[in-house]
Structure formats: C-alpha cells, structure tokens
Amino acid sequence: MIGIYFSGTGNTKFCVERFLQYYGDTIDVFPVEEERAVTALCDATEILFGYPVYYSNLPKIVRDFITKNSSLFAGKKIYIIATMGLFSGDGAGCGARLMRRCHAEILGGLHVKMPDCISDEKALKRTSEQNRKIIQDADKKLKDAAESLKAGKPVREGLGLGSHAAGLLGQRLWFYTKTQKYSSRLKIDPGKCIGCGKCMSLCPMENITIREQKALPHAKCTMCYRCVNRCPVQAITLLGKRVYEQSSVEKYL
C-alpha cells in the first residue's frame, strides 16, 4: 500500500505516514500536487488516500485530482483518511462516492481529529498541551485502524447513509459553494510583506507570484493555509482579518 495525500499544514501527511508505519508497509507517500502522485496511482493496487475536510467537503484540489485522473482509479483498492478540526459527518464518504464513480473499491474510511490550522480565526484554538493530546489520541486511533485493516476488519467511518446525512446537515448544505470553486479571497498585506517568496514556493496551486519585491495573490486558492501559517511576518490572511496563531503539526510532536 502506498499513500497519496493532500495536506496544508502537515496534519494529513502525518496521519498517512503514521498509518502506513503501523500497517507495516514501506512509507511511500506522494502529494497530489506533484506529478509523481499520478505515477504512483498508475502503479499501485492498494492506496491510502488522505485529505483534510473543508466545510464537510473535499478541498477543490483533491476533487480535481480525482476527476482528472478518474480512469486511473478503476480497479484500485482505496482506504481513505479524512482529517478535520472537529467534525465532518461523512468526510471520508465524500471522497469514497467520487472514487466509486471512477470504479474504485473502497476498503474503509477513517476520520481523524487534528489540531486546527485556520490561523486567522479564533474558533477551535487550543493550547499547545491540548493539541499535543489531540496528536496522541490521533496516533492511537491510526494504530488501531491499521491493525484492524490488517485483520480484515477495516474501519468504515463516514461511509454510511447516516454519516452522509450528518455531513449534509452539519455544514455542506450551508457552505456548499465554499469548496466548489477556488477562492479569490487570499489577502497579502503589502505593508508587511518582505518579498521573501516563501509563500510562492509553498503554494500547491502556484497562486502567488512576486512582483516588485512583494507577494501578489491571484484567484486560485484552495484554502490549504500553508502560506498563512508559514509567512515569517504574518502578512497573509484568508478567512479572517489577522493572524491569531500560526500552526503546523511539527509544533505538537
């Protein structure tokens, strides 16, 4: 089994790598924004597919990856890990339904609560101690799920009809348009920006360019929060107006 994932601040990458470690396979993981993910998808039979959940839905970049490579999913056996800050209902189910239409077989699904990464909103902010406990709980859940899969009894979180209803009523119906298109809301304060180019190099969508020694956002943001959380001068915001806390999974390991 190989891992294919999308990860903004490292939460999902951590979960995919940990699961494969406990499953006992070589840890071969490939981010969806790199061409080698397509090659891995072609060559592999069993795939661990991980992504974060936005508004109880798939990030646009993940949906585009699945749709663009739909023919390559045929006959593949997929286990899905969906990461979230709180609750999604059917986070794994969103990907599963799309992959089934591509004629993939869904082995199971797992929902993993991870530290919040939306750094420009106060909601879901926790202490470092609380976030470390979240990581510890997630690690145990990943280990148990990997052992269950090895035993032929895969966890199937988020894949049933009840979960589908919970995802729809919980957020997706109210915020459906948030993930159907790429966002044009990314903001970079030119008064703070030092033109270091870090945001440009991190962006999976190539949505940021440097002009006249200042970073300039465009209209194809997938809301991963990499740039917001990594900007050395906190010049970038997306949903909020200022950065409250920059987050990455490494802070809590």
Other CB atoms within 10 Å distance of the CB of residue 100: 14
**70 band by pLDDT with thresholds 50, 70 and 90:** very high
Class of domain 2-178: alpha beta
pLDDT tens, 91-138? 999 999 999 999 999 999 999 999 999 999 988 788 999 999 999 999
pTM value surpassing 0.85: yes
Position with higher pLDDT, 172 vs 186: 186
Confidence of residue 220 (pLDDT cuts 50, 70, 90): very high
DSSP H/E element including 105 = strand 105-113
Q: Looking up tokens 């050395």, which residue turns up?
A: 232
Who wins on pLDDT, 174 or 10?
10
Q: How far is it between the farthest Cα atoms of the chain?
A: 58
* CATH code, residues 187-252: 3.30.70.20
Per domain, the residue ranges of the chain are 2-178, 187-252
Residue 222 CA to residue 203 CA, distance in Å, equals 9
pLDDT greater than 70 at residue 248: yes
In 3D space, the residue among 102, 101, 60, 108 whose CA is nearest the CA of residue 82 turns out to be 108
User: pLDDT tens across 144-160, in order?
Assistant: 999 999 999 999 999 98
